[in-house]
Structure 1
Amino acid sequence: MKKKLLRQMLNEWRTNVWLALEFLVVSVVLWYICDYFYASMRTYFAPLGFEYDHCYELTMYDIPETSPEYRPEYANDSAQSEAFREILRRLKQMPEIEAAAYSNNARPFNGSNSGITMGYDSVTGNALRRFATPDFPIIYRYRGANGESPEELAAQLEEGKMLLSDNFFSSSSREPLPSVRELKDAGKKIHYVDYKINGEHPEAQIGSALVPVRYDEFSDWSAFALQDVCRDGFHPDKAMVWYYNELTVRVRPEHDHDIAAKLMAAAPDYLHVGNNLLTNVSSLDDIRRNFQRSTTTQLRNYSAGMGFMMINIFLGLLGTFWFRTQQRVNEIAIRRVNGATRRGIFGRLIGEGVLLLALVTPLAVAADCLLTHYDICAYYGAHHSTALRIAVCAGTSFVLMALMVIAGIWFPARRAMRIEPAQALSIDN
């Protein structure tokens, strides 16, 4: 059967060459669409590495010197730093609050970034730098790569240790580099690359390696360093005043109702310390929605456009094989007259289309590999397993095209079967 099909296809090579070229182009385009959706969905549903439910950001207003409520005794860094710490203490004393922390470019869904470069031996790694006071891992439920709890990580920040994500050095390198856990186990010394002291790069006191924390739900950017700038060689008062500009809290689940109203009710007196005044409370759910709105809209528009393209591809292939099968009504009639069964005729027609698709698919996969190698189809930072990525998308593309081919052959062939052979042979095609 296969030999007969191949012989027939070779005899009709002129027609089949153009059909094969159509298969090749459509397969690559369809693979690109599948790859986009695959990378999008795999990125979106990957673990975030943090939790943001029951979390809120508190916006503090700095009372200006021109205001009658301004208190000049809090103008210096020491007094202002103590006011910041007092606000944290008061928040933690509230029965509704589980944890509270100051941070800088650290909370989730934050468009402001700062970087840090660390190194070991001759290898350097550059990633996000997140400054935060010790309760920060508790608020967002950070986890250690070896299973350390948020409370254990908070204790390490309290000791002045820097916490690196486990993929700090390997995330931006195509070469296989060891994880932070492996570096610690091997006794490697990690040092700052950004600056020198007495001509030497100072070493960093490293704590537990962290589970990577993604930037947002649409990005796989997840390498970072977390440290409390007040406990890492900086002047603590200046660091507290000049670095920390975010204040976030985690609310106990049983108290997470009308919490914004309760905090704002406490703003004029209980949470008014020095020249700091609470002016707004924002849920991380709302911050997430606003931060990702443009990306969500873009994805929706892309999805609609690619969905429309897939419909056109489906109709194009369906029409091609529908027309091709209708032109073979006489051939179907002759086969029926010579004793061919309906099942045999269906199998031959469908087998011819699927076999041609199978012969073209290796060429299409080679083109897909080139697109992947040069990151022409990369979605955001979605550099997932290349082999799995190509296999899944190529397999999906093949199945979809095979279904289109079968649909394009099945319906007109079924209709042709209903025509009596004598009548079919008298039809002028």
Structure 2
Amino acid sequence: MIRHIFKIIWNERKTNAWIVLEYILVFCVLWFCVDYLYYMGKCYWEPVGFDTKNTYVLEMQKKPDTSFNNTEGNGETEVVDKQALAQTFLNRVKNYPGVENVCFSKWAAPFERSSYMSGYYIDEDTTHNVTFRLRWVSENFFDVFRINTTAKEISGWDAPGTNQILITPNREGLFGNEEYSVPLEDVKKLTSSTSDRKEHTVIGSAEKMKDGYFNSYFCNILLPLVREEYDLREMQICLRVSPGADKDFEERFTKEMREQLMLGPYFMSSLKSIDKNARITNWPTDDLNGIYAITAFLILNIFLGIIGTFWYRTQARRSEVGLRLALGSTRWGVKKLIFGETLLLLFIASIVGVNICINIGHTELLELLDIPIANRMDAGIGNEQEFINYALAFGLLAVISLIAVWYPARQAAKIPPAEALRDE
């Protein structure tokens, strides 16, 4: 039957050439839409390294023109006051109904735009200065965000002079960068590349982390946030609430705790859901909306174009259909013939289209045209993506084409043979 369909396509090659050309153009555009949407979906559903469900970030501000020193104004008194206020704050928030845990951190909270980077030497190697992201966290940070670690004991890791740290791997499970990396389990010590050459002992590792849904996994160093650095204004304050207490929590907590959290020069500025805030600040709305619009436009035009084309072709071939029916072909056989012809034309176009797309993908043309493209390397996507793109693009076009051609095929199969032959 395929051989017979090929003969039909060849006999109608002038008309079919335009259909194939239309299919090629649509296939190429749809290929890059599918490529980008698949990349975005893969990145979004990947674990970010934190469990942010039912978690909130609480921001404190400092009253203007207030002195923090309570007596003589020396630095020592200031540190003691900050620690005392932080402890009072911690107790009051923990005692609020529904709050499971609270933690302090600097440059460590999920989906925060600010970050701190620094260079380190790994173990005894002093030739490769590798840059890592640094996150200072309190002990409760791991409980709030439910981060699993391989460390035997985290409690007390912030004791002075211990210099204990945790590390996280990149996507491949290694620790380092593109130029120099080692297996995560082999790392025992890190030495700062700054002038002090401070050494840190690695006591374990945590899950791989990334800064946003669509960012790559970056190696992190988790350091203890020592109590001398506690400052409610400067720290990121995160809390986890029980699932039952999550409903309207922001509104209730803000209303009931505003006065209780007026501590010294500090006052509560805002309370935000980390999940909701992440979807606002970490979502490339413009790029996605553009791809959605192009894809929807393509689907509509493909449908209308194919149904119009095959309606015209069917009407022009009434005598052929009538002759087939008169010679004993069934109505279902006529439908299968038209369906097969459609899919074969699409297959021919897709073979040409896939070669065009792969070659364009190896150039910088899309980037020069400012078209959103998938960053496959950061997402850990390999050459298998070409097969996925082909399957999705071909499958979507095939479904749309079969739906569009179904009605013309049905009408063609209903033509009485005598009437079709008389028209001829």
TM-score category, normalised to shorter length? 0.7 to 0.9
Q: 1:83 to 1:72 in 2, by over 3 A?
A: closer
- From 224, 249, 253, the equivalent of 2:239 is 249
Give, in whole Å, the separation in 1 of the partners of 2:351 and 2:82.
64
In the alignment, structure 1 residue 44 sits paired with structure 2 residue 74 = no
Q: What are the superposed Cα offsets for residues 315-336 of structure 1, whole Å, 9 maximum, x if unpaired?
A: 2233233323332222212222
Does 2:76 correspond to 1:78? yes
| 2:112 aligned residue (106, 110, 113) | 110
The 1-side partners of 2:104 and 2:70 are apart by 23
Deviations 1:185-216 (A, max 9, x none): xx6x54444x344xxx6554223222123323
The answer on whether the counterparts of 1:119 and 1:191 sit within 8 Å (CA) in structure 2 is yes
In 2, Cα distance between equivalents of 1:219 and 1:316: 36
Q: Which runs of 4+ in 1 moved over 6 A?
A: 171-176
Question: Cα–Cα, structure 1 residues 241 and 282, in superposed 2: closer, same or farther, change >3 Å?
Answer: closer
Q: Tell me: CA distance 1:286–1:397, structure 2 relative to 1, closer, same or farther (3 Å).
A: closer
Counterpart of 1:394 in structure 2 is: 390
Kept in 2: contact 1:163–1:227 (CA 8 A): yes
Shift in CA distance, 286/391, structure 1 to aligned 2, threshold 3 Å: closer
Partner of 1:365: 354
- Residues in 2 aligned to 1:263 and 1:296: alpha-carbon distance in whole angstroms: 34
For residue 216 of structure 2, what is the amino acid of its counterpart? W
How big is each residue's C-alpha offset from its partner over 1:217-265, in whole Å with a ceiling of 9 and x where there is no partner? x32333242433656xxxx84x556994323333456766533334323
The answer to whether the aligner puts 1:164 opposite 2:160 as a matched pair is no
**How much does 1:281 deviate?**
4.0
SS of the residue 2:57 aligns to: strand
Is this contact kept in 2: 1:100–1:250, CA < 8 A? yes
| Residue of structure 2 aligned with 1:313, choices 302, 306, 327 | 302
More strand by share: 2
- 1:142 maps to what in 2? 147
User: In 1, Cα distance between the equivalents of 2:37 and 2:143?
Assistant: 34
For 2:179 and 2:18, locate their aligned partners in 1 and report how far apart those are by CA, in whole Å.
42
* Pairwise CA distance, 1:415: 0.9
Deviations 1:92-146 (A, max 9, x none): 43433544333222212322223233454565654433223333222222222x5
C-alpha contact (below 8 Å) 1:115/1:129 kept by paired residues: yes
What's 1:180 paired with? Answer: 184
Match of 2:258? 264
Letter in 1 for 2:352: L
In structure 2, the partner of 1:416 is 412
1:32 is the counterpart of 2:32: yes
**Structure 1 residue 282: Cα displacement:** 0.3
Which stretch of structure 1 is more off in the superposition, 25-34 or 45-54? 45-54
Cα pair distance change 1:172/1:309, threshold 3 Å:
farther
1:206 paired residue among 202, 208, 219: 202
Contact conserved, 2:101 with 2:241, CA < 8 A, in 1? yes
Do the aligned partners of residues 318 and 400 (structure 1) sit closer, same or farther apart at CA in structure 2, a change above 3 Å counting? farther
Structure 2 distance, partners of 1:128, 1:344, is 65
Q: Which amino acid aligns with 1:142?
A: I
Amino acid of the structure 1 residue aligned with 2:408: P
Shift of 1:23: 1.8
- How far, CA to CA, are the matches of 1:133 and 1:334 in structure 2? 83
Percentage of pairs with the same residue: 22
- How far apart, CA to CA, are the structure 1 residues paired with 2:356 and 2:23? 13
Equivalent residue of 2:203, what SS?
Answer: coil
Of residues 334, 339, 343 in structure 1, which corresponds to 2:328? 339
Q: Matched residues in 2 for 1:365 and 1:266: separation?
A: 64
Code of the residue aligned with 1:140 in structure 2: it is: F
In 1, Cα distance between equivalents of 2:19 and 2:175: 43
Q: Deviation string for 1:41-65 (max 9, x for gaps)?
A: 222222232123443333333344x
Secondary structure of 1:334's aligned partner: helix
Which secondary structure does the structure 2 equivalent of 1:108 belong to?
coil
> Residues 292, 42 of structure 1: CA spacing in aligned structure 2 closer, same or farther, 3 A cutoff?
same
> Aligned pair in 2 of structure 1 residues 336, 211: CA closer, same or farther (>3 Å)?
same
SS of equivalent residue, structure 2 residue 58? strand
Q: Are the equivalent residues in 2 in contact too, given 1:165–1:211 (CA < 8 A)?
A: yes
- Of 30-39 and 301-310, more deviation after overlay is shown by 301-310
1:280 is matched with 269
Summarize the Cα distance change of 1:293–1:113 in structure 2 as closer, same or farther, 3 Å threshold. Answer: closer
| Structure 2, unaligned runs of 5 or more | 367-371
Amino acid at match of 1:341: T
Number of residues of Structure 1 aligned to a counterpart in Structure 2? 403
Report if the CA contact (8 A) 1:74-1:80 is conserved.
no
The aligned residue for residue 222 of structure 2 is: 227
Contact map agreement 1:59 1:279 (CA 8 A) in 2: yes
Say if 1:317 and 1:405, in contact at 8 Å, map to a contact too.
Answer: yes
Equivalent residues of 2:61, 2:233 under 8 A apart: no
Q: Which amino acid aligns with 2:310?
A: F
CA distance in 2, matches of 1:103, 1:116: 17
What is the SS of the residue equivalent to 2:201? coil
Distance apart, 1:178 and its partner CA: 4.9
Alignment map for 1:88-99 (pairs within 5 Å): 88-94=86-92, 95-96=95-96, 98-99=100-101
Q: TM-score, normalised by structure 2?
A: 0.79
Q: Is the contact made by 1:321 and 1:405 (CA closer than 8 Å) also made in structure 2?
A: no
